[in-house]
Structure 1
Amino acid sequence: MVIRTRRQRIFQVLGLYAMAAAAVAYFGFHAWHGDHGMKAKQQLLAEIAELGGHLDRLKAERTEVERRVRLLRPEALDPDMLDQRARQTLNFTDPRELVLLAPGR
């Protein structure tokens, strides 16, 4: 009877260790691969960096557009800008100018 009790205790202890190891493995796996895990955090940080670069490009483009709009205001009209927009809109050129056509445009 002592042997049977000792075996039962050994199996109980091993069973508890196995269940604890399984729980640690389960939570460890989901801590790495889950929706809010380490892998998802790395992907979010990469996306944040990519979108930050995109935001910088858009801010530069917006600054350029604002500068061009400022040049077209009536109180500070730039003659070169007016000439460029008129030629582009009306599709006119000066007979003395050389026009180079780019393929695909």
Structure 2
Amino acid sequence: MLRRAIAPAALMIVGVFFGGYAIFGPNGALAYGDIERQLAVKQQQLAMLDKARSELKNRVDLLDPKHADPDLVDELARKDLGVAHQDEMIVPLGK
């Protein structure tokens, strides 16, 4: 009789283990709120990175050798050559 009870008891232990893991584990039902909070944080970080990426893409497009923006080229050249001061303000003139 004891030998017949070993298999169902082992299956029950395995079932309880996986059931507990499904409820209390890191991806379980109780962790759903934390997962949603992490998702909101990651979406906010993604939005910030997308904004930074679009700003960098705009600067790269302005430096295209075929039609570079003269103001940006002048700004970068003065900065790299060390002839611009940090408190210097560049005032664009109307064309």
Instruction: Report the TM-score when normalising by structure 1.
Output: 0.56
Deviation per CA, 1:69-95: give whole Å up to 9, x if none. Answer: 0000111111100001001111113xx
Aligned to 2:39: 48
1:90 aligned to 72, 81, 91, which one?
Answer: 81
RMSD of aligned C-alpha atoms? 2.7
1:65 aligned to 52, 56, 60, which one?
Answer: 56
Structure-to-structure mapping, 1:1-105, within 5 angstroms: 31=23, 33-93=24-84, 100=87
In structure 2, how many angstroms separate the alpha carbons of the residues matched to 1:46 and 1:68?
34
In structure 2, how many angstroms separate the alpha carbons of the residues matched to 1:36 and 1:62?
32
Instruction: Please identify runs of 4+ aligned residues in structure 1 that moved more than 2 A.
Output: 33-39, 98-101
Q: Which amino acid aligns with 2:77?
A: A
In structure 1, how many angstroms separate the alpha carbons of the residues matched to 2:40 and 2:31?
14
Structure whose CA Rg is larger: 1
Distance 1:99 1:88, change over 3 A: closer
In terms of fraction of residues, the more helix-rich structure is 1
Total equivalences in the alignment: 71
Instruction: Report the TM-score when normalising by structure 2.
Output: 0.62
Q: Which amino acid aligns with 1:35?
A: P
Task: Please list every run of 5 or more consecutive structure 2 residues that lacks an aligned counterpart in the other structure.
Answer: 1-18, 89-95
In structure 1, how many angstroms separate the alpha carbons of the residues matched to 2:37 and 2:79?
41
Q: Which amino acid aligns with 1:45?
A: E
In structure 1, how many angstroms separate the alpha carbons of the residues matched to 2:80 and 2:51?
25
Aligned to 1:15: none
